[in-house]
Amino acid sequence: MAETATPAQPVNADRVREARRSPAQHLADAFVSGSVAGSVTLHEIPYQAQVGIRVDRTSDAGTRVASVTGGLPATSGEVVTSGAISTVWLGPTEFLVIAPEESHDSLGGSLVGDLTSALGTDSGQVVDLSANRTTFELSGSRARAVLEKSCALDLHPRVLKAGTALSTEIGHIPVVLWKTGEDTFRIFPRASFADFLGRWLLDSMREYASPEVP
């Protein structure tokens, strides 16, 4: 007798949300107490949908993928943003797609599935990295000074302009650093490094909580 396929069960988004624990959730209170109003603040933006793509942007597959993301960046540092989706250049054929958490297939979205379908059977790769990375946002007038303590990039605004994203290291931890505003940076470490990097940044922020010596 032929077996009857079991129908796919609908996604229960509430149960998925209840089961999640972000990589730096245990540091949330420390981020609040370690932030300095008007100077520098740090918080985690958890659960963003993040998808790694390998595809030749000039190929037919690249055109199809770009139709899902709203475009693929062409040069180092470039970020293409279309609506709620941003795509970061990591290499000539490598990109990181970042979107709100509700875009993820586990919460009823279709981002990973749409990208996989767009790639089809052509050469390339679509990998769900949402659980592999988290996002820190560092902002304020002292945010650049905090990063300059342990990041080798030239972060001066004449060099690193808002809207630029580059792969680098902070505190010897590999990250993608995206300058989203004049005094705002988003940092994408791997989940396993989130605790170390979060504490590293808090330590680097500590001097700005002390009164200045006249």
What digits encode the pLDDT tens for the residues 57-99?
A: 999 999 999 999 999 999 999 999 999 999 999 999 999 999 9
Same fold, 24-46+134-209 and 47-130: no
Q: What is the reported pTM?
A: 0.89
Chain-centre distance for alpha carbon 76 = 16
**Confidence (pLDDT) at 18:** 67
Rounded to the nearest angstrom, the gap between the alpha carbon of residue 174 and the centroid of all alpha carbons in its chain is 13
CA–CA dist 153, 109 (Å, integer): 36
Tens digits of per-residue pLDDT, 18-50?
A: 666 899 999 999 999 999 998 999 999 999 999
pLDDT given at position 171? 96
| Mean pLDDT calculated for residue range 2-26 | 66
Per-domain residue ranges for the chain? 24-46+134-209, 47-130
Whole-number pLDDT of residue 21: 84
CATH-assigned architecture of domain 24-46+134-209 = 2-Layer Sandwich (3.30)
- CATH class of the 47-130 domain in this structure: alpha beta
Which residues, 6+ apart, have CB-to-CB distance to 26 below 8 Å?
Answer: 195
Phi, psi at residue 20, to the nearest 5°? -80, 150
